[in-house]
Amino acid sequence: MARGLLIVLSGPSEVGKGTVLKEVMKDESLHLAYSVSMTTREKRPGEEEGVNYYYVTKEQFLSAVKNGEMLEYAQFVGNYYGTPLHEVERLRDEGKNVLLEIEVQGCMQIKEKCPDVVTIFIVPPNMKELEKRIRGRGTEAEEVVQQRLEKANREMDMIREYKYVVCNDDIQLAADIIKVIIKRNQELYQGK
């Protein structure tokens, strides 16, 4: 069986990555698997251990890094986030195309380690809309909102590091474009 692809999806906070990703994951013909990340941030209402993230302490996180258990990791607005290596390798060996939803520093680390990674950046229709969405969540202090906005602006400057840029003006359209990108890259990866 051919080894699966590694696909990285990035984009500023609240650009709707999660929603687009859910839509893409519905297509069983793509043989996708989502890699659950590890984080030190607090669980938000509605989130589940092992589904959204593995929630760990800073000590646990740094020990995993030290033991070489992470494919990549980064600090984001005061918390650590990272991709456990073992799970990604296991799924790819099973022929699954593994999707990671991570921020830009992590993507840069993966580009170094896996040059054939498929990188996709999701952009909002405009920055005003993005600010509205970040504020709209209403679960975070103004200081954190400001940090997320700053980070979003800096992330937008990293677009050039990505192979594909997809605008999330319409969820269905963005998901369909991503599905085409994955399908074609799978064919290319398999030499078709």
Residues in contact with ligand 5GP by CB under 6 A are 13, 37, 41, 72-74, 76, 81-83, 101-103, 105-106
Q: How far is the CB of 163 from ligand 5GP (least distance, A)?
A: 17
Q: Give the nearer residue to ligand 5GP in terms of CB position, either 63 or 190.
A: 63
Q: Write the CB contacts of 12 (distance below 8 Å, at least 6 apart in sequence).
A: 123, 124, 130, 151, 152, 153, 155, 156
Contact 57, 131 (CB under 8 A): no
CA–CA distance, 65 with 82 (Å, rounded to integer): 9
CA–CA distance, 154 with 39 (Å, rounded to integer): 21
Q: How far is the CB of 100 from ligand 5GP (least distance, A)?
A: 7
Encode burial over 78-89: b for 16+ CB neighbours within 10 A, e otherwise: eebbbbbbebbe
Q: Write the CB contacts of 115 (distance below 8 Å, at least 6 apart in sequence).
A: none
Q: Give the nearer residue to ligand 5GP in terms of CB position, either 54 or 189.
A: 54
Q: How far is the CB of 66 from ligand 5GP (least distance, A)?
A: 17
Tokens 């989130």 correspond to 47
Q: Give the nearer residue to ligand 5GP in terms of CB position, either 5 or 107.
A: 107
Q: Give the nearer residue to ligand 5GP in terms of CB position, either 13 or 119.
A: 13
Q: How far is the CB of 3 from ligand 5GP (least distance, A)?
A: 21
Name the residue with the smallest CB distance to ligand 5GP: 106
Tokens 């699954």 correspond to 96
Q: Give the nearer residue to ligand 5GP in terms of CB position, either 31 or 133.
A: 133
Q: How far is the CB of 65 from ligand 5GP (least distance, A)?
A: 12
